[in-house]
Amino acid sequence: MSENKIPYKIYLSEDEMPRAWYNLRADMKVKPAPLLNPGTHQPMTAEELEGVFCRELVAQELDDETPFFEIPREIRDFYKMYRPSPLVRAYCLEEKLQTPAKIYYKFEGNNTSGSHKLNSAIAQAYYAKRQGLKGVTTETGAGQWGTALSMACGYLGLECRVYMVKCSYEQKPFRREVMRVYGASVTPSPSDTTSVGRKILQEFPGTTGSLGCAISEAVEAALSAPGYRYVLGSVLNQVLLHQSVIGLEAKAAMDKYGVKPDIIIGCAGGGSNLGGLIAPFMGEKLRGEADYRIIAVEPASCPSLTRGEFRYDFCDTGMVCPLAKMYTLGSAFMPSADHAGGLRFHGMSSILSQLYHDGFMEAISVRQTDVFEAAEEFARVEGILPAPESSHAILAAVNEAKRCKETGEEKTILFGLTGTGYFDLVAYEKFHNGQMQNVIPTDEDIAKSLAQLPEVL
């Protein structure tokens, strides 16, 4: 099909939407390392995990072999309210950049929660409901996950308690209200409602919180409330599984027009959108059927892949969660408070960590002010106000497209535009007022938190 036939937006019909999630681990020769019990350092059993997580989700978490999991009909119906998400050909951006590159982005911001997180939120809430649970607890950093989970719980009639990282709670009061619209209760973290929160407050008075700390509080809250389980919005294998719907749709849309990406780019916080976007492409790469350049983009303020170590670490500050083998800056790492994006987790998905370690993907880190410059350039030509997190991917895609201009190569670039920036206007305001700084940890900062990593033989 000739080039000019490709529309600005490629949609799939409802019939063309994926009916099963794809489990990338099934095609990995070297599987991601198992979660370990923090006390015994033995692999976590399903039984142990079921004390914290929902049963069906534990089964998904531990399954490294089954390539496809059928998406239950109820979840597919929910997906139809806001999916398929558009795959956009960025003609206007290409024109602006005067690049021979062909740029596509998969836009996940077209739902009230404003990001891709709803794809996993509805799945996790569904399995909790089916198990007959009363409610779920969770943490939220920038607020997108909490919003998504609130929507899913509101829809299914499940209680939802959200621990929100304090600096976001204060910076983004409207996110908090959206969660309350959907019936969730929202507590700023660290709080005095949990023993781990009280301990952190004592040790770091005046702390603005971190994702790792909010996770500890949410886990403790789930363990102490009957009929409750804890759910997590990123990092875990099950979350990447649910997010594969992004990549499956993107690939189906591209296949429709015979388009094959050369470069696939995504921002990486805990790794769920990137893991989901690349899943079917990485599957082909692992099976030797095709090759793609895959790039993870992380903030220079929280550079787990590019400056962390591939080790077992805690997923939370309070050290109550299982140990995961991942690229980590250390669970004691506190990213700078003024960093605007929600990519502030100290670790990275075990799946992506293993793939990166084995050379199947690349990673770069970028500076915050450069990210906001790219975000505004994008907004002005493509119309969408992008989330700061997503804009990390925009910056990397723009840089690749500029490189194509220099070399004359007609590369096809696909990137994940994970969400909208309507709730991030305080960050944009700082940028406009010249108050945004690039706080980049020193080698000593990182060495200090890495020195506290648990010894796992």
Ligand X SMILES: *Cc1c(COP(=O)(O)O)cnc(C)c1O
Query: Minimum distance between the CB of residue 329 and ligand X, rounded to whole angstroms?
Result: 15
Place of tokens 């925009």: 394
What does the alpha-carbon distance between residue 52 and residue 88 come to, in Å, rounded to a whole number? 39
Min dist CB 397 to ligand X, Å, is 14
Q: Are 188 and 166 in contact (CB under 8 A)?
A: yes
Least Å distance between CB 269 and ligand X? Answer: 3
- DSSP H or E segment with residue 281: helix 272-286
Which C-beta is closer to ligand X: that of 54 or that of 305? 305
DSSP string, 369-388: HHHHHHHHHHHHHH---B-H
Are the C-beta atoms of residues 237 and 271 closer than 8 Å to each other?
no
Residue nearest to ligand X (CB): 419
Residues that bind ligand X (CB under 6 A): 115, 117, 142, 144-145, 234, 267-274, 342-343, 387, 389-390, 418-419
Which residue lies nearer to ligand X by CB, 417 or 446? Answer: 417
Output b/e per residue, 22-53; b: 16+ Cβ within 10 A. bbbbebbeeebbbbbebeeeeebeeebbbebb
Tell me the sheet residues that pair with 362: 295
| Angle, helices 118-130/73-82, rounded to nearest 10 degrees | 150
Q: What is the spatial distance between Cα 356 and Cα 172, in angstroms, rounded to a whole number?
A: 33
**Are residues 388 and 427 in contact, defined by beta-carbon separation less than 8 angstroms?**
yes
By beta-carbon proximity to ligand X, the closer residue of 188 and 386 is 386
With a CB cutoff of 8 Å and minimum separation 6, the contacts of 296 are 266, 267, 268, 271, 274, 305, 352, 356, 361, 362, 363, 364
Residue 127 tokens, joined: 């399995």
User: CB-wise, 269 or 308, nearer to ligand X?
Assistant: 269
Closer residue to ligand X (CB): 171 or 234: 234
Measured from the CB atom, the residue of 94 and 108 that comes closer to ligand X is 108
Residue 375: CB minimum distance to ligand X, A: 12
In whole angstroms, the minimum distance from the beta carbon of 387 to ligand X comes to 4
Least separation in angstroms between CB 336 and ligand X: 17
Q: Which of 317/420 has CB closer to ligand X? A: 420
CB of 144 to ligand X, least distance (A): 3
